[in-house]
Amino acid sequence: MPEQQPATVLEKERLHRFVAAYFKDRERYLSLLKNHGSPLWVLDPSVLKDRARRFSEAFNACFDKTSYYFAMKSNNRPEVSAALLESGFGLDVSSGIELKTALNLKAEKIIFSGPGKTQEELSLALQHRDRVTLLLDSFGELDRLSALVSGSDQTSPVRVGIRLTTNPKGLWRKFGIVPEMLPEFWKRIAPLTHIRFAGLQFHSSWNLTPERQVEFIRLLGQTLARMPRDFNSRIEFIDIGGGYWPEEGEWLHFPETPEGASPQETSIPWDRVRPHYRIPGTPIESFAKEISLAVQTHIFPHVNCCICFEPGRWICHSAMHLLLSVIDKKNHDLVITDAGTNVIGWERFETDYFPVLNLSRPGLVERPCHILGSLCTPHDVFGYAYFGEGMETGDCLMIPCQGAYTYSLGQNFIKGLPGFVKL
């Protein structure tokens, strides 16, 4: 397992560049709030398209045959998937609900991945086998699919891949089968005429560097070297999943609490804004170079196939922003907003640092203030500081770059969900 890179203090210049870029468009965001009400999600499809272009250009420069699937779970707003379909991406879905959205959007290339697919979900995928590749998660799922296919009156075979688990220990082992079981899986699937085996998939999450993906590609190469020739010759694709962290890196309140851990410290010093921390990321072009080198070295000697990608976060995180307003100023350093963190569905801002911008009183000085939502829980935190020249009731706030794993997780908990507008 690669070492987690240490967090270092987030440089002031980097932070100011980020904040200034969004303050520049403040009039636009303020008028959206005026016209559509607060709180509000704002989607910028041009950002999605730029990200999709840069991502695919990076990998197309390194591989002859590629295919891209947007991971809908990272943001399930249909307009997001629609923009990515326009960019030539397919869709990666993980449930019947997501599959229905993809079908309604007329996606032609859909992969359906995930553990525990229900009979209804498998049946829906089978009905649309001309557009869906099913990524099988287990022997049991193969048996259930096989029973469903033999009971169906369609004659064309369903295209499937096999998901491989990247980590046989702990909770990640719930995904896929371990590579050592591939020979047995092949024995079971090869004779089935209505199920056409066409590829392999793996996914590892939350990668600030390509090390974890590269290491699994090396292991996969060793597995393929031992597999029979007729198995390898059937492989049309190897899908290396998503999990690319944006190159800005992971921004944190506390250096010691990456990956969603709870901070030890619950109070903050009020005489100053604490330093923020950053675990560095990697440009996508470097991911592409290192991954392609690994694939050339370990995979292509055994299998020459299309390489597929399922990015979610990298594509959508900077394309959607949250706008909200101060509903009550309770102290010079305590305000309550009109949204609660139910809008993003988890206590993200207790550990992750995202700057809060006061669009109504812009300024590049960050000032300490508890910016809390209106839910009946003290964990309803948007931030411990804001950028601006003061903070008053009625002020409009922005938290940029909330496009990934926020909108999809929003809950109708105590308060309702924000409005939505597409630029």
Ligand X SMILES: Cc1ncc(COP(=O)(O)O)c(C=O)c1O
Give the binding site for ligand X (CB under 6 A): 71, 73-74, 92, 113, 203, 205, 241-244, 310-314
- Would you call 412 exposed, middle or buried from its count of C-beta atoms within 10 A (0-12, 13-18, 19+)? exposed
Residue 80 sits at φ, ψ, to 5 deg, of -70, -50
Asked if residues 274 and 301 have their Cβ atoms less than 8 Å apart, the reply is no
**For ligand X, the closer CB: 74 or 406:** 74
**For ligand X, the closer CB: 51 or 253:** 51
| Smallest gap from residue 133 Cβ to ligand X (A) | 13
**For ligand X, the closer CB: 287 or 387:** 287
Spatial distance between the Cα atoms of 287 and 301, rounded to a whole number of angstroms = 21
220: amino acid identity, one letter = L
Q: In this structure, is the dihedral angle defined by the CA atoms of residues 124, 127, 128 and 130, taken in order, positive or negative?
A: positive
| Smallest gap from residue 154 Cβ to ligand X (A) | 26
| Smallest gap from residue 77 Cβ to ligand X (A) | 14
**For ligand X, the closer CB: 52 or 71:** 71
**For ligand X, the closer CB: 39 or 403:** 403
The length of the chain is 423
| Smallest gap from residue 210 Cβ to ligand X (A) | 13
Give CA torsion, residues 188, 189, 193, 199, to 10 deg: -170
| Smallest gap from residue 4 Cβ to ligand X (A) | 16
Spatial distance between the Cα atoms of 66 and 88, rounded to a whole number of angstroms = 12
Asked if residues 9 and 258 have their Cβ atoms less than 8 Å apart, the reply is no
Compute the 3-state secondary structure of the chain and give helix, strand, coil in percent, each to the nearest 5. 35, 20, 40
Spatial distance between the Cα atoms of 150 and 160, rounded to a whole number of angstroms = 15
| Smallest gap from residue 309 Cβ to ligand X (A) | 9
- Would you call 354 exposed, middle or buried from its count of C-beta atoms within 10 A (0-12, 13-18, 19+)? middle
**For ligand X, the closer CB: 201 or 360:** 201
| Smallest gap from residue 409 Cβ to ligand X (A) | 12
**For ligand X, the closer CB: 244 or 277:** 244
